[in-house]
C-alpha cells in the first residue's frame, strides 16, 4: 500500500467468495467509480472457474466508460494466495447451494412455519449457520495467519453469527459486518419527509438515525432531518396509511417482486412499540413471534409483503450465470454505476480519505450496554483513518427489549452450540426461535429432518445423536 496523502495506490483487496456474482460486480463497479484508490483485487472462490470469470469481468471495468479507479483483478487458487499481503478482505460466500437453502426455507412449511427470507434467523437461519460458521472458522483463522492486520468486511448471512465467528477464532481481527437494510428505511423516511413536509429531493444521508439491536432486526431510537424529530411525522404517516406505502414503481410492487413490500410490518411495529424498525419487512417479520406476521401466506398477503421462494433464487442465479458469460465474453458491456453499498466508502474512510458514519455489525464493547458484551450488535460506527469505532447507542427502549434480548440470546446460544458442535445446545436455540411456533415434538422432528436434508455440509456434527 502506498499512501500519497489524498490517494492510495497498490492496495490489495482479497475477495473471498463472490463466485455467485451479484455482490462482486457491484464492488467492481464501485471501485471503478472511486478515484482515489487503486491496486489489486485477488479473487478466491471454491469454484475457481467462477473466480476466473470474475477476473475477466473485473478487468473489463478498467476500460469501461467513466472508470476512474483502476484495479488489477486476479483469480487465485488458494485462500492463502488471496489473503497474503491483503489490506482489506471482503467475504461474501454462499454456504452450500440453493438446494440446501430450499430445505432451510421451505421444509418448515410442513410444520406451518413460513419464512420470508430464511437466511438469518428462524429454522432456516439456524441450519444455515450450522454450515456457514465452520467455513468462517477456517477463513478467520487463515486471516490470523496470512494478514492479521487487514480490515475485514463481511457480507455473508447470517451476518451476526458470521462476524461473531471471526472474532471467536481470531480475537484481534479488525472485522465488521455490513448491511444495507437500514439504508432502505432511511430512504423510506426521506420519502415521508418529502411528502409530509413538502421538501424536494431529501437525501438518505440527511436522515440521521440511531440504530441499535442486531442485524436485520435493527431499530432506530432516533431519526432526525435537519433538526426535525421524525417520530411524530412518522406516526402521522403510519396512522394515515393503514394500507401501506404505495411509492413503488411496477417493478417494486410487492405483488410482483419477492423483495418489495409496502412497509406495513414496520409501520405496525412502530405504532405499537414506538421505535422505528429498520430493515425490510421480510426480515423484520422473521424476528417477531411467528404468529404476528408469518402465521400463514394469507397473513403475509394481508401485510403486503412477500415470501421469497427459493425457486426464484434458482431462476435468478441462472440469469446471473448467463449474464456472467455475456459480460466475460463481451456480449454485454460492463457499466459503472454506484450501487449505494458503502464498502468502498468504508475503505476510503479507513485509509483516511474522508470520515464516514454508518451502521455496522461489531462485537459489543459498550455501544449496546444492555445486550451482552461480546455479542455482535448493529449500531452506527465512526470510520476514520485506521479506526472503526461503534457509536454508543444507549439502552434499548423497554418496549422492544423483550424482543431484542430474546433474539440476541438465541443467537449467542446458537453461536456457542455451533462452536462446540453441540447439537443439544443448537436445538435449545432452535426451539426458542420466535418463528418456531410448532409443538416441541414437531420442532425436534423438523430440526432432525432439516439437518438430514443438508447433511452434506454438516459433516462436523455427530448427527447420529439426533
- Report the site for its own copies in 353-372 (rule: CB under 8 A): 353, 355, 357, 365-370, 372
Q: Which of the residues 110 through 149 are near its own copies (CB under 8 A)?
A: none
- At closest approach, how far in Å is the CB of 322 from its own copies? 40
End-to-end CA distance of the chain: 51
Binding its own copies (rule: CB under 8 A), the pick from 246, 301, 325, 389 is 389
Residue nearer to its own copies on the CB measure, 139 or 423: 423
Binding its own copies (rule: CB under 8 A), the pick from 56, 336, 391, 466 is 391
Q: Which of the residues 293 through 312 are near its own copies (CB under 8 A)?
A: 293, 295, 299
Is residue 180 among the annotated active site residues? yes
Residue nearer to its own copies on the CB measure, 316 or 444: 444
Binding its own copies (rule: CB under 8 A), the pick from 56, 97, 394, 466 is 394
Q: Which of the residues 8 through 37 are near its own copies (CB under 8 A)?
A: 8
For 24-41, the three-class secondary structure string (H helix, E strand, C coil) is: HHHHHHHHHCCCCEEEEE
Closest CA to 376 of 169, 214, 217: 214
The CA distance from 106 to 231, in Å, is: 37
Residue nearer to its own copies on the CB measure, 23 or 183: 183
Residue nearer to its own copies on the CB measure, 416 or 449: 416
- At closest approach, how far in Å is the CB of 360 from its own copies? 12
225 binds its own copies (CB under 8 A): yes
- At closest approach, how far in Å is the CB of 276 from its own copies? 14
- For residue 101, CA distances in Å to 23, 121, 446 come to 18, 13, 15
166 binds its own copies (CB under 8 A): no
- At closest approach, how far in Å is the CB of 231 from its own copies? 10
Binding its own copies (rule: CB under 8 A), the pick from 261, 412, 457, 458 is 412
Binding its own copies (rule: CB under 8 A), the pick from 198, 251, 398, 465 is 398
Closest CA to 42 of 62, 13, 84: 13
Binding its own copies (rule: CB under 8 A), the pick from 235, 405, 421, 448 is 405
Torsion angle, alpha carbons of 231, 237, 240, 241, to 10: -130
- Measured at the CA of 109, the angle between CA 103 and CA 110, to 5 degrees, comes to 95
Catalytic-role residue among 3, 180, 241, 258: 180
DSSP E strands, 263-375: 276-277, 356-363
Q: Are 360 and 349 in contact (CB under 8 A)?
A: no
Closest CA to 83 of 133, 44, 137, 138: 44
- For residue 160, CA distances in Å to 173, 198, 217, 248 come to 15, 38, 11, 30
Q: Which of the residues 334 through 353 are near its own copies (CB under 8 A)?
A: 350-353
Q: Which of the residues 229 through 248 are near its own copies (CB under 8 A)?
A: 229
Report helix, strand or coil for 141. helix
- For residue 363, CA distances in Å to 126, 183, 206, 334, 455 come to 19, 21, 27, 37, 30
Q: Which of the residues 271 through 290 are near its own copies (CB under 8 A)?
A: 272-274, 289
Q: Which of the residues 70 through 109 are near its own copies (CB under 8 A)?
A: none
> With b meaning 16 or more CB within 10 Å and e meaning fewer, what string describes 53-86?
bbbebbbbbbeeeebebbbebbbbeebeebbbeb
Task: Give the range of 18-26, 320-328, 336-344, 431-439 binding its own copies by CB under 8 A.
Answer: 431-439
The CA distance from 54 to 43, in Å, is: 8
* DSSP per-residue codes, 95-115: -S-HHHHHHHHHGGGGGT---
Residue nearer to its own copies on the CB measure, 5 or 251: 5
Helix or strand holding residue 384 (H, E) = strand 376-384
Q: For the purposes of burial, counting CB atoms within 10 Å of the CB of 36, is it exposed (0-12), middle (13-18) or buried (19 or more)?
A: middle
429 binds its own copies (CB under 8 A): yes
- At closest approach, how far in Å is the CB of 391 from its own copies? 5
222 binds its own copies (CB under 8 A): yes
Binding its own copies (rule: CB under 8 A), the pick from 78, 291, 319, 333 is 291
The CA distance from 228 to 269, in Å, is: 22
Residue nearer to its own copies on the CB measure, 156 or 364: 364
Task: Give the range of 101-109, 173-181, 313-321, 395-403 binding its own copies by CB under 8 A.
Answer: 395-403
Q: Are 300 and 306 in contact (CB under 8 A)?
A: yes
- At closest approach, how far in Å is the CB of 366 from its own copies? 4
428 binds its own copies (CB under 8 A): yes
Q: Which of the residues 195 through 214 are near its own copies (CB under 8 A)?
A: 199, 206, 208, 210
Residue nearer to its own copies on the CB measure, 102 or 342: 342
> Look-up: residue for cell 425490510?
280
Residue nearer to its own copies on the CB measure, 225 or 457: 225
- At closest approach, how far in Å is the CB of 370 from its own copies? 7
The CA distance from 338 to 29, in Å, is: 7
393 binds its own copies (CB under 8 A): yes
Residues serving a catalytic function are 180
Amino acid at each position: 500500500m502506498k499512501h500519497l496523502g489524498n490517494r492510495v495506490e497498490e492496495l490489495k483487496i482479497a475477495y473471498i467468495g463472490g463466485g455467485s456474482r451479484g455482490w462482486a460486480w457491484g464492488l467492481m463497479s464501485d471501485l471503478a467509480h472511486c478515484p482515489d484508490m487503486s491496486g489489486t483485487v485477488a479473487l478466491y472462490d471454491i469454484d475457481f472457474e467462477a473466480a476466473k470469470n470474475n477476473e475477466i469481468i473485473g478487468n473489463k471495468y478498467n476500460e469501461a466508460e467513466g472508470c476512474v479507479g483502476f484495479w488489477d483483478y486476479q483469480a487465485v487458487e488458494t485462500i492463502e494466495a488471496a489473503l497474503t499481503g491483503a489490506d482489506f478482505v471482503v467475504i461474501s460466500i454462499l454456504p452450500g447451494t440453493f438446494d440446501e437453502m430450499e430445505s432451510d426455507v421451505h421444509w418448515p412449511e410442513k410444520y406451518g412455519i413460513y419464512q420470508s427470507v430464511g437466511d438469518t434467523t428462524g429454522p432456516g437461519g439456524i441450519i444455515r449457520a450450522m454450515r456457514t460458521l465452520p467455513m468462517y472458522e477456517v477463513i478467520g483463522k487463515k486471516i490470523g495467519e496470512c494478514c492479521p492486520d487487514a480490515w475485514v468486511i463481511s457480507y455473508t448471512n447470517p451476518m451476526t453469527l458470521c462476524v461473531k465467528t471471526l472474532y471467536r477464532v481470531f480475537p484481534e481481527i479488525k472485522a465488521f459486518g455490513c448491511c444495507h437494510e437500514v439504508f432502505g428505511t432511511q430512504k423510506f423516511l426521506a420519502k415521508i419527509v418529502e411528502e409530509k413536509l413538502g421538501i424536494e429531493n431529501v437525501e438518505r444521508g440527511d436522515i440521521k438515525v440511531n440504530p441499535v439491536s442486531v442485524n436485520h432486526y435493527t431499530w432506530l431510537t432516533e431519526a432526525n432531518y435537519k433538526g426535525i424529530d421524525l417520530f411524530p411525522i412518522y406516526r402521522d404517516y403510519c396512522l394515515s396509511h393503514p394500507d401501506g406505502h404505495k411509492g413503488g414503481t411496477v417493478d417494486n410492487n410487492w405483488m410482483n417482486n419477492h423483495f418489495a413490500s409496502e412497509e406495513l410490518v414496520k409501520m405496525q411495529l412502530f405504532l405499537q412499540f414506538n421505535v422505528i424498525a429498520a430493515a425490510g419487512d421480510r426480515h423484520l417479520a422473521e424476528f417477531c413471534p411467528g404468529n404476528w406476521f408469518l402465521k400463514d401466506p394469507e397473513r403475509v398477503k394481508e401485510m403486503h409483503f412477500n415470501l421469497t421462494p427459493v425457486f426464484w433464487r434458482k431462476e435468478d442465479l441462472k440469469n446471473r450465470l448467463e449474464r456472467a458469460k455475456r459480460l466475460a465474453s463481451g456480449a454485454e458491456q460492463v457499466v459503472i454505476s454506484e450501487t449505494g453499498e458503502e464498502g468502498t466508502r468504508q475503505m476510503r474512510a479507513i485509509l483516511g480519505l474522508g470520515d464516514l458514519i454508518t451502521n455496522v455489525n461489531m462485537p459489543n464493547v459498550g455501544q449496546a450496554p444492555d445486550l451482552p458484551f461480546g455479542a455482535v450488535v448493529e449500531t452506527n460506527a465512526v470510520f476514520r483513518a485506521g479506526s472503526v469505532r461503534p457509536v454508543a447507542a444507549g439502552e434499548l427502549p423497554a418496549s422492544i427489549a423483550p424482543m431484542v434480548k430474546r433474539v440476541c440470546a438465541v443467537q449467542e446460544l446458537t453461536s456457542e452450540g455451533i462452536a462446540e458442535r453441540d447439537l443439544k445446545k443448537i436445538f435449545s436455540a432452535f426451539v426458542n426461535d420466535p418463528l418456531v411456533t410448532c409443538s416441541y415434538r414437531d420442532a425436534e422432528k423438523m430440526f432432525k429432518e432439516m439437518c438430514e436434508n443438508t447433511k452434506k455440509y454438516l459433516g462436523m456434527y455427530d448427527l447420529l445423536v439426533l
